[in-house]
């Protein structure tokens, strides 16, 4: 279905077209842009509320700044839909997040207007500052602007960037988009601090008076020295809310209404003429312009397909019960365990809904905590709790855990603290693409001493691994990694039993070829084996459960019997589970042909999970092809 943009939006094929419009036409542009996003996302899916909240800002930035010469850095990237539409991608926008279509995030290879790729948060200030410093060094007349949400501001990297920006003598503007939300409502002292700023009448009146006075000064006379003297003269009259940003030597302006397009364009135009590092604080509403999204911002962050008139979110109807999502199995199981073990605590960095720790936070609010977008803090906080005898489940998306690698090594593994790291979204995640794929955790955790790395094949195995991880006999850190989406067991609430650490299981005996699987892809292998049976091929199947430690007894059994082996995992083939099997084979001088299936050594773009599993060759059909190719070989030369 073709979706037609409004009459003004249909004429905007680049920011140059936008800048040709009169300022009083920008209201209409904003209305049409907001409606176009509603129209397209309701039919094709994608992130929703975030971009609606920055429609006016997107228009104002491209109207005032000479993009792409002036460089905008969006943080987090899912608020950049309006930006994409205004920068020549309007007619392709319906392909957003679809296989071979537009990325859901800014992407440098996609457009010259996407100055920095971002899918995670809190990188914009450092990146924009780097651009500003490079421009100054090269003598180029270009502006750099970072647009960061208040949720992203909680991450340490944002503070590191601001700390440097204040002394870097570079012309960078930081726009703080304050809507009290990331995916879930923001938490922490910074949220309260920003609330103080936005609600302080004394502070805002003083800032307005100063701003008006400065507006009357010629731009040429507005120097750093004058700005510093004015700052010092009014600081005694300002309340504590003025301290944080100005203490970092950032000229603070605002807060202003982020939905007032006239005020935004006027303010940005003025700020272009003020040198040095600056921060503009704007207040917006996530989901602005779609009433249901304004009322329930978490639900409408990425709602899927919906009826834009009634607000009904379409859900597929099923004739029989369906398997739950792995994240929900985690969310309900941790409560079951915590009811019997009062040492269990839960931690998540800003993903209580995405990880389903929200269930425990609602039922046991004194035992489950959202720490904001602070993965490093989440891990070390968990380590601190573990020193006091707590059994902490630190629940983080696999791709987000990459940020906390140092903390895992130094604060958890070296000290042998039994923190349980539950990695949601392990493996390929689908439409969010390479910034979110959980491809590397097996490889980067496998090299750390004292680490246990496990992956359940189904919901029952997840429950058993969680049960095992909180036992008093556990004295090492343990990773439990599981994928995005549904499992395979509609009747999943089974009794929990201990799984011996490093112990796999033989699911099916067979001939000629052995398939060794880790985690959920074991279900793809089971399907492949059923399909191969019709062709008279009967491979054996081993669910290894652990990438570290390996079940060496089971591997000795495999290599003693089979000369042709396929390994399957939903992680990178470089340094992952398959590599561990090859290392075992070499160490024990076995000779076999080993085919490793998993995520290839390249960036896998976005698409549905089914499309990406097929592309990477470890879906059921890919496993079938690998087994057939081995059956047809007569060689025993090592391969991978």
- Residues carrying an active site annotation: 286, 375, 403
Q: Which of 231, 238, 215, 262 is nearest to 24 (CA)?
A: 262
Q: Which of 54, 55, 47, 3 is nearest to 29 (CA)?
A: 55
Tell me the torsion sign for CA atoms 61, 104, 181, 157: negative
Residues 143-165, buried b or exposed e (16+ Cβ, 10 A)?
bbbbbbbbbbbbbebbbebbebb
Q: Exposed/middle/buried for 450, CB within 10 Å: 0-12, 13-18, 19+?
A: middle
Round to whole Å and give the CA distance between 111 and 127: 17
Round to whole Å and give the CA distance between 368 and 378: 12
Do residues 527 and 621 touch, judged by C-beta distance below 8 A? no
Tell me the torsion sign for CA atoms 207, 208, 213, 217: positive
Do residues 444 and 386 touch, judged by C-beta distance below 8 A? no
Round to whole Å and give the CA distance between 59 and 168: 29
Round to whole Å and give the CA distance between 565 and 194: 58
Do residues 97 and 45 touch, judged by C-beta distance below 8 A? yes
Between helices 620-631 and 522-533, what is the axis angle to 10°?
60
Q: Which of 577, 529, 523, 528 is nearest to 555 (CA)?
A: 577
Query: How does DSSP assign 194-262, residue by residue?
Result: HHHHHH-HHHHHHHHHHHHHHHTS-GGG--HHHHHHHHHHHGGGS-GGGHHHHHTTPEEEEEEETT-HH
Round to whole Å and give the CA distance between 221 and 209: 19
| Alpha-helix runs per DSSP H in 53-188 | 55-64, 81-84, 124-138, 156-165
Round to whole Å and give the CA distance between 121 and 105: 11
Round to whole Å and give the CA distance between 378 and 481: 17
Longest dimension (CA), the chain: 87
- Looking at the DSSP bridge assignments, the partners of residue 173 are 145, 278
């Amino acid at each position: 279905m073709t979706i037609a943009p409004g009459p003004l939006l249909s004429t905007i094929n680049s920011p140059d077209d936008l800048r040709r419009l009169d300022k009083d036409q920008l209201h209409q542009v904003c209305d049409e842009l907001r409606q176009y996003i509603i129209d397209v996302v309701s039919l094709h899916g994608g992130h929703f509320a975030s971009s609606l909240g920055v429609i006016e800002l997107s228009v104002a930035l491209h109207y005032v700044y000479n993009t792409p010469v002036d460089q905008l850095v969006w943080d987090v990237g899912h608020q950049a839909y309006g930006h994409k539409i205004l920068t020549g991608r309007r007619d392709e926008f319906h392909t957003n997040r679809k296989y071979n279509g537009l990325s859901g995030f800014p992407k440098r290879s996609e457009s010259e207007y996407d100055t920095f790729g971002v899918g995670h948060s809190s990188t914009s200030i450092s990146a924009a500052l780097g651009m500003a410093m490079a421009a100054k060094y090269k003598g180029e007349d270009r502006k750099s602007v970072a647009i960061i949400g208040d949720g992203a501001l909680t991450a340490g990297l944002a503070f590191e960037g601001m700390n440097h920006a204040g002394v870097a003598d570079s012309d960078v503007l930081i726009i703080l988009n304050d809507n009290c939300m990331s995916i879930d409502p923001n938490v922490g002292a910074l949220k309260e601090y920003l609330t103080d700023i936005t609600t302080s009448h004394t502070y805002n009146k003083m800032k307005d008076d100063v701003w008006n006075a400065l507006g009357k000064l010629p731009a040429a006379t507005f120097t750093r020295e004058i700005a510093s003297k004015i700052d010092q003269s009014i600081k005694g009259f300002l309340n504590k809310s003025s301290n944080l940003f100005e203490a970092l030597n950032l000229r603070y302006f605002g807060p202003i209404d982020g939905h007032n397009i006239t005020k935004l364009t006027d303010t940005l135009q003025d700020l272009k003429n003020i040198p040095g590092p600056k921060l503009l604080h704007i207040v917006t509403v996530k989901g602005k312009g779609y009433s249901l999204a304004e009322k329930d911002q978490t639900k409408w962050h990425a709602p899927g397909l919906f009826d834009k008139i009634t607000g009904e979110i379409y859900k597929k109807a099923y004739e029989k019960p369906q398997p739950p999502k792995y994240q929900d199995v985690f969310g309900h199981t941790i409560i079951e365990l915590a009811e019997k073990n009062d040492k269990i605590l839960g931690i998540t960095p800003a993903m209580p809904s995405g990880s389903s720790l929200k269930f425990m936070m609602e039922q046991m609010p004194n035992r489950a905590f959202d720490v904001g977008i602070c993965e490093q803090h989440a891990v070390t906080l968990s380590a601190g709790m573990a020193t006091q005898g707590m059994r902490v489940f630190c629940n983080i998306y696999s791709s987000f855990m990459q940020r906390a690698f140092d903390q895992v090594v130094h604060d958890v593994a070296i000290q042998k603290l039994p923190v349980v790291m539950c990695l949601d979204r392990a493996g390929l995640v689908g439409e969010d693409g390479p910034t979110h794929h959980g491809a590397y955790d097996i490889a980067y955790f496998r090299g750390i001493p004292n680490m246990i790395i496990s992956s359940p094949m189904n919901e029952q195995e997840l429950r058993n691994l969680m049960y095992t991880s909180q036992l008093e006999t556990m004295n090492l850190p343990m990773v439990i990694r599981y994928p995005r989406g549904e499992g395979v067991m509609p009747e999943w609430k089974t009794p929990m039993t201990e799984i011996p650490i490093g112990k796999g299981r033989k699911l099916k005996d067979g001939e000629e070829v052995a398939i060794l699987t880790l985690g959920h892809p074991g279900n793809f292998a089971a399907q492949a084996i059923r399909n191969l049976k019709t062709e008279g091929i009967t491979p054996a199947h081993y669910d290894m459960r652990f990438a570290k430690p390996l079940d060496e007894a089971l591997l000795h059994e495999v290599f003693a019997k089979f000369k042709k082996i396929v390994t399957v995992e939903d992680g990178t083939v470089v340094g992952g589970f398959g590599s561990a099997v090859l290392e075992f084979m070499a160490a024990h001088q076995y000779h076999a042909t080993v085919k490793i299936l998993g995520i290839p050594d390249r960036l896998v773009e976005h698409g549905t999970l089914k499309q990406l599993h097929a592309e990477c060759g470890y879906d059921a059909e890919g496993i079938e092809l690998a087994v057939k190719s081995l059956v047809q070989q007569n060689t025993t030369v090592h391969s991978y």
